[in-house]
Amino acid sequence: VIPEPSRSPLSSQSFIGVSLSGGRQERSVICELVEYEYPRRLVLYTLLSAQDQVELGSPDEFFIDFLKRKSPQMIVFDSPLSLPSCFQCHCLTAVSSCSKPEVRWLLAQQWEKHKKPRRYPTPYTQRALDFFLENYLAEKFEYGHALGSNWAPITVRVQTWLRFLGGYPLFESPVKIVAYYLGRSFGLNRLQALNLFSSTQGLELRQVFLEKMQSRMDLFFYERDLLVVQKEPHAFQALLAAYMGLLSLRNQVAKLPNFLAHEKCLLPKACEQDYVTRLEIVHPQGEGND
């Protein structure tokens, strides 16, 4: 007999999105979405920017202290949460013989049929997940490697945070890809959805996106926060990461293929159809054994 799911005694649930910045300027943002049950309502409850930090000190400590005072349903990073499989692996002297399934899959990608051979994969900088996000979704997204030149400082920063956040339910979500899929589901056309982060049209398109999100999701923003989320890409990204946490709790996220089952990556449900089709085209017999 399956017991009935117990109803949470809490009348609200909170979801936190974290968007960490690299580079010289500290632009990292944390966003907390709270969903109230009676009446059902979603509120952008906290928007915390490293730039708001009044006292001089470590922005990481400022954020981690904030997180430790919270008990969210989920914390979702918009950056890689896991390290490449062969970064610290017994196989390091001969990566081509690594036995981990996700590495076998990644190495096999060089030999994808009907295309020119690709650059040899580097499973010590690159995750199978990184490759999958770039090549198996609706568009060719430029994601990069978890330990590649763009992500490496942020990936390592997240690894340091993990030491202080033991016990929290932690996830990652590639929000630029998420923005595309959500944008399409909100009625944006392909180019609008692809340009949400462009320097020329991004601001205007994010405004359209947020208006649609507000009306569809019954999402409430305070006026000041709404302006920040439109203007600051990291605030927008932190909002989307938090929102993916909410979708995950509602079972509205994609199931990752088996070779990525170890990754805690949240993608919109609509991704599923795209990659199922593409994986079948590339590997008609299932696993890509040539």
Positions touching Zn ion (CB under 5 A) are 86, 89, 91, 98
The smaller minimum CB distance to Zn ion, of residues 98 and 238, is found at 98
CB nearer to Zn ion: give 58 or 96: 96
Distances from the Cα of 13 to the Cα of 42, 71, 140, angstroms = 10, 9, 35
Query: Which of 284, 199, 210, 228 lies closest to 49, judged by CA?
Result: 228
User: Minimum distance from CB of 84 to Zn ion (Å)?
Assistant: 9
Residue 24 burial (CB < 10 Å; 0-12/13-18/19+)? exposed
In terms of DSSP bridges, do strands 41-49 and 219-220 run parallel, antiparallel, or are they unpaired? parallel
Query: In terms of CB distance, is 89 or 282 closer to Zn ion?
Result: 89
Task: Tell me the C-alpha distance between 186 and 87, whole Å.
Answer: 39
Minimum distance from residue 187 beta carbon to Zn ion (Å): 44
Toward Zn ion, which CB reaches closer, 86 or 196?
Answer: 86
Q: Shortest distance, CB of residue 126 to Zn ion, whole angstroms?
A: 12
Could you please report the per-residue DSSP string of 12-42?
EEEEEEEE---SSS---EEEEEEEETTTTEE
Residue 104 beta carbon to Zn ion: minimum distance, rounded to whole angstroms: 10
